[in-house]
Chain A
Amino acid sequence: MKRSKGLLAMMIALLLVLSACSGGKNNTAAENTSNTGKTDEDKASSDAGAAKTLSIMWWGPDARHEATKKALEIYSQQNTNVKFKPEFMAWDAFWQKLPTLAASKSVTDVLQMDAAFIQEYVSRGVLEDLSDIDLSGIVDPNVIDNLKIGGKLYGIPLSQNAQGIAYNKEELTKLGIPLPKKDWTYDEFFQWARDAKEKLPDGKYPIGDTTTWDSFNYYQTAMGIDPIMSDGGKKFLLDKELFMKFYKAYEDFRKQKIVPPADKAAAFLENDPNADPMASGVVMTRGATTGSVSALEQLMPGKVGVVNLPTGPAGGGWAQSTIFLSVSTDSKNKDEAKKFVKWFITDKEAGKVLGLTRGLPINPEIYKDLEPALEPKDKLGKEIYNQSLDKALPFYAPAPGFSEWVDMYRKEMEAVTFGQQSIEDAYSKIDKMGKELAAKAGGQ
């Protein structure tokens, strides 16, 4: 009796360990099976002849979901043999789901793609070459040339996008702080922040702190130096002198309370009514893109102004297409999928329904139709684009295989903002890992 009870307990414990440890894997397996089910279904529908089902997946906010579903209905009305199986979700969920789909070779026929990830997925053979789609008269040939990866086009650009800075126009004006001016330089930007601090009450800050790689990359490239990653990740260059100068400036800002303290910054959550750095009234400026500024405008209607990113001798910021529609190499309906992605940026009716839910439509004709009815929140997006265009540098995405480095950069810089490590130490860790990755990618 005594022995058997102990044995039983031991067995239960072992089972617990095993089943608990396998929990996560069960989920993946389940997901995979459900995906396989889907591909079978697709196969069946393409075998049936003219009737086809295109699966399509995108990320975005609700407004984009609703508009896109309406556009799909229009396509089905025009092509009665085509039905859609849409899947839509938020950004995070999308990029968590896509790798598993890619691994099980069940990526949807059509999928939305982002400039930050397209290189990675092209390098892994997930995306179909779309170079043979004729886009003349729809998209500027220069734009297409810029988007080609290894001479081929893997994503149909949907919109124009640009990065800028949004500022709290109302409050700055009230306090008599001059508004930022187009094409301001980094020196002017830093000086503006110092001057603004003197007029701001305690607990309010002119600018936010920075811990992510891209904001330093903007600085490095604006100063006329190569981007941190280039040549598909084979080249890595983190300019030490500029790095020290840039983050030393922010270190001073932290001391002078020009940027919010680190624990306050860590609690910010963009586009959350209470936790957004700007909408909560704590910080006077924050980064915003053509595609995202409307969400901020809705939180503080009529109070937002925009300006392009600070510039250097080489220019600054970017203004180009960053959202695409791609076709999966696993698709059984490639021809229909290609027809659809072209239609998506050509059809006027669809253009009207989609509006600016993915930024300024890439097709000038469609944009012309929309322009008279633009709302203030959409005009801000256009304003960022217009201000950024003439000084714009290319959009620099993380190179394939650098996703971990991107995370590590943020964490090391966070440790700096919390005063737990020196800028120099952060530099040597970030630089070391970057060089290792570049060496692994086949560079020197």
Chain B
Amino acid sequence: MSAKTSTKTRLEKWSIRKRKNSEETNIAGYIFISPWLIGFLLLTLWPISQSLYLSFTEYSLLSEPVWIGSDNYVKIFTDDSTFIKSLSVTFTFVLFSVPLKLFFSLMVAIALNKSIRGMNLYRTAIYFPSLIGGSIAVAALWRNMFGADGYVNQILAWFGIHGPAWISNPDTSLGTLILLNTWQFGSTMVIFLAGLKQIPQELYESASVDGAGKVRKFISITLPMLSPVVFFNLVLGVIGSFQTFTSAFIITRGGPINSTYVYAIFLYEKAFKHYQMGYASALAWILLVIVAALTTINFFASRYWVFYESGGGRAK
């Protein structure tokens, strides 16, 4: 009995000390992250809340904002054909570019996961195009490749095919941008590569012993083991593609007609070309809600296909 009590008090003492310690650690922790925290509050949270307010105003940037209630939202949803158009362009873009990019970067990552002499050089070379991203040089390159007399059409001409002016044709212009986005697979590929390296070799070895072939190993080991990484890249890809801007802005300027007029360009032009900051803020909030909703759906759907090894199976 007495031994039991003494144990109890000792335990209590220990836990009090621990709590004290952890309080101190908390304060120190907050101090350490305060530069980031202050930055986040002032440069992220404040502008975001500011834009929520502005979305209920008419604000031309040059005169004071005027409160107009939900007029911006009403107009966007009931009387703005450009909103619908830009949203459908963006959805098309996301729908094609995300799966394509995931597939392509996974294939490249698998190819680069081999141990061959000079592999680091290959990895660097293949990652390189992603560094130059949405630059003017890429825009010029894309024009040279996909213009009416571009390289693509010159090659097609060898086979007697007369290709369209890919970039300046409203039917194909968005396709060239999807292709460009797919080509910029570098960072996704690097994450896949890291994920592949995490898969224990023993699994493959024991599968070999059981007589599994390459395809079988890929489907039964690589894919399930990699599914959290696929999921991560998917979420990131969807968010990123919804905000795609640079390539459409510098290569096609949203045209011809509105064929590449993605949501972010619509938002940008409303804000900085036509100075309708209130309207643009409302558009930004609608985009936030759409992206947040899709991300939530992604998380729910992930239950059914993402495999967490440490969780003993399916994710909660």
Instruction: Tell me the bound Cα distance from A415 to B240 in angstroms.
Output: 29
Instruction: Tell me the bound Cα distance from A28 to B315 in angstroms.
Output: 40
Which B residue's beta carbon lies closest to that of A410? Answer: B255
Are A403 and B274 in contact, CB atoms less than 8 angstroms apart? yes
Are A420 and B257 in contact, CB atoms less than 8 angstroms apart? yes
B244 to A: closest C-beta gap in Å: 11
If A21-B291, A263-B165 touch, whether A103 touches B61 (CB-CB below 8 Å) is: yes
**In residues 290-312 of chain B, which contact A (Cβ within 8 Å)?**
291-292, 295, 299, 308, 310-312
Are B316 and A2 in contact, CB atoms less than 8 angstroms apart? yes
How big is the B interface, by class? 35 or more
Are B273 and A16 in contact, CB atoms less than 8 angstroms apart? no
Chain A contacts for B47, CB-based, 8 A: 22, 25-26, 28-29
Chain A contacts for B275, CB-based, 8 A: 99, 403
Contact with B along A415-426 (1 / 0, CB 8 A): 100101000000
A14 to B: closest C-beta gap in Å: 8
Instruction: Tell me the bound Cα distance from A103 to B276 in angstroms.
Output: 12
- Name which of B26-34, B94-102, B105-113, B167-175 contacts chain A: B167-175
Interface flag for B122 (CB, 8 Å): no
Chain B contacts for A264, CB-based, 8 A: 148, 165, 168
Interface flag for A339 (CB, 8 Å): no
Interface flag for A63 (CB, 8 Å): no
Chain B contacts for A263, CB-based, 8 A: 148, 164-165, 168-169, 256
Are A2 and B61 in contact, CB atoms less than 8 angstroms apart? no
Interface flag for A347 (CB, 8 Å): no
Are B51 and A25 in contact, CB atoms less than 8 angstroms apart? yes
Are A17 and B292 in contact, CB atoms less than 8 angstroms apart? yes
Interface flag for B138 (CB, 8 Å): no
Chain A contacts for B239, CB-based, 8 A: 16-17, 20
Instruction: Tell me the bound Cα distance from A28 to B258 in angstroms.
Output: 26
Tell which of A6, A403, A411 touches B273, judged by Cβ atoms closer than 8 Å: A403
Tell which of B48, B143, B291 touches A267, judged by Cβ atoms closer than 8 Å: B143
Chain A contacts for B308, CB-based, 8 A: 2, 5
Are B44 and A266 in contact, CB atoms less than 8 angstroms apart? no
Interface flag for B207 (CB, 8 Å): no
Are B167 and A267 in contact, CB atoms less than 8 angstroms apart? yes
Are A17 and B44 in contact, CB atoms less than 8 angstroms apart? no
**In residues 310-351 of chain A, which contact B (Cβ within 8 Å)?**
none
A433 to B: closest C-beta gap in Å: 11
Instruction: Tell me the bound Cα distance from A13 to B44 in angstroms.
Output: 16
Are A411 and B299 in contact, CB atoms less than 8 angstroms apart? no
Interface flag for A368 (CB, 8 Å): no
B270 to A: closest C-beta gap in Å: 8
Interface flag for B235 (CB, 8 Å): yes
Which A residue's beta carbon lies closest to that of B273? Answer: A403
Interface flag for A50 (CB, 8 Å): no
Interface flag for B43 (CB, 8 Å): yes
B44 to A: closest C-beta gap in Å: 5
User: Main secondary structure on chain B at its contact with chain A?
Assistant: loop
Interface flag for A19 (CB, 8 Å): yes
Are A266 and B284 in contact, CB atoms less than 8 angstroms apart? no
Instruction: Tell me the bound Cα distance from A418 to B287 in angstroms.
Output: 30
Instruction: Tell me the bound Cα distance from A94 to B257 in angstroms.
Output: 25
Contact with A along B229-241 (1 / 0, CB 8 A): 0001001100110
B41 to A: closest C-beta gap in Å: 12
Contact with A along B182-218 (1 / 0, CB 8 A): 0000000000000000000000000000000000000
If A17-B291, A25-B47 touch, whether A404 touches B165 (CB-CB below 8 Å) is: no
Chain B CB within 10 Å — which of A18, A28, A265 has the most? A18
Are A267 and B257 in contact, CB atoms less than 8 angstroms apart? no
Are A124 and B63 in contact, CB atoms less than 8 angstroms apart? yes
Instruction: Tell me the bound Cα distance from A2 to B63 in angstroms.
Output: 53
Which A residue's beta carbon lies closest to that of B287? Answer: A21
Are A20 and B243 in contact, CB atoms less than 8 angstroms apart? yes
Interface flag for A3 (CB, 8 Å): yes
Are B48 and A22 in contact, CB atoms less than 8 angstroms apart? yes
Interface flag for B88 (CB, 8 Å): no
Interface flag for B60 (CB, 8 Å): yes
Which A residue's beta carbon lies closest to that of B264? Answer: A24
Tell which of A10, A24, A26, A126 touches B62, judged by Cβ atoms closer than 8 Å: A126
Tell which of B60, B235, B256, B272 touches A13, judged by Cβ atoms closer than 8 Å: B235
Instruction: Tell me the bound Cα distance from A2 to B316 in angstroms.
Output: 7
Instruction: Tell me the bound Cα distance from A30 to B292 in angstroms.
Output: 26
A98 to B: closest C-beta gap in Å: 10
Interface flag for B24 (CB, 8 Å): no
Instruction: Tell me the bound Cα distance from A21 to B63 in angstroms.
Output: 25
Are A414 and B164 in contact, CB atoms less than 8 angstroms apart? no
Q: Which 5 A-B pairs have the closest CB atoms?
A: A266-B168, A124-B62, A2-B311, A267-B168, A263-B165
Can you pick out 12 interface pairs between chain A and chain B where the beta carbons lie within 8 Å of each other?
A2-B312, A2-B316, A17-B292, A96-B273, A102-B61, A103-B62, A263-B164, A264-B165, A266-B168, A267-B168, A407-B273, A420-B170
Extra inter-chain contacts (17) besides given A403-B273, A420-B170, CB under 8 Å: A2-B308, A5-B315, A6-B315, A14-B292, A17-B239, A21-B48, A21-B291, A24-B268, A25-B51, A96-B272, A103-B61, A124-B60, A125-B62, A267-B168, A275-B147, A403-B274, A407-B269
